Amino acid sequence: MLTVHHLEDSRSQRVLWLLEELGVGYDIKRYERDKESRLAPASLKAVHPLGKSPVVEHDGVVVAETGAIVEYLIDTFADGGFRPSTDESDRRAYAYWMHFAEGSMMPQLLLKLFFSQIKAAKMPFFAKPIANGIADRVLGAYIDPNIAEQMAFVDAHLKANDWFAGPEISGADIMMSFPLEAAKSRGAAGGAPAIAAYMERYQARPAFRRALERGGPYAYA
């Protein structure tokens, strides 16, 4: 049996989606974020030393990191599907978008989250203008322009393609779903009609809806 260590409002939701697409049976062990820090609970360190989610356990094998999990599940259960097999251009696109999701998009979105939290944090009144000024400068000069450039890049790709890597859904779409959902939740997806249509398309898939039912409340869908 396969067990998914599933943290609320996290990357692990897309692991559930992939498992539903593949028709693989699985159990879920749920974890809640700390109410103040919003971090994963320390109990996850009993599963993996870094204490992060997602982690999957399958026949004695423990796999962490979403991209590694997606590759493992596709290698183990997809029977040749969920990745391009012949077209070289699609194979390159698959590799690119698999890595772009966490390597390029998520760092910028996390920076936006952290600096926005600085602006919202409680602090002495005399420190507030300084903190806000620094946060606004970093957001305006670096983070927001980079996110806007990335979103325009993704939107242009999706204007020409139904899916990220070829004519069929693949692991690249699973990987890209979370950063796009996170971007939308943080107001960074406006003015990108192809992204909006793409998200509506995959979120309407029966497997995606089943994963939401199994995973429980998910703030980004």
Polymer length of the chain: 221
The fraction of the chain above a pLDDT of 70, given in percent, is 100
Ranges of each domain in the chain: 2-82+210-215, 88-205
Can you tell me the distance from the alpha carbon of 62 to that of 93, in angstroms, rounded to the nearest whole number?
Answer: 28
Q: Six-digit token pair at 97?
A: 């978008």
Task: Find out whether 109 and 182 touch, Cβ atoms under 8 Å.
Answer: yes
Judge whether residue 84 has pLDDT over 90.
yes
Per-residue pLDDT of 19-63, as tens digits, reads: 999 999 999 999 888 877 777 888 999 999 999 999 999 999 999
**Architecture of the CATH domain 88-205:** Up-down Bundle (1.20)
The whole-model pTM stands at 0.93
- Residues whose CB is less than 8 angstroms from the CB of residue 54 and which lie 6 or more positions away in sequence, other chains included: 4, 5, 6, 7, 10, 11, 12, 15, 64, 66, 69
Cα separations in angstroms, 40 against 12, 196, 206: 12, 29, 29
For domain 2-82+210-215, give the fold: Glutaredoxin (3.40.30)
Dump pLDDT digits (tens) for 184-200.
988 877 789 999 999 99
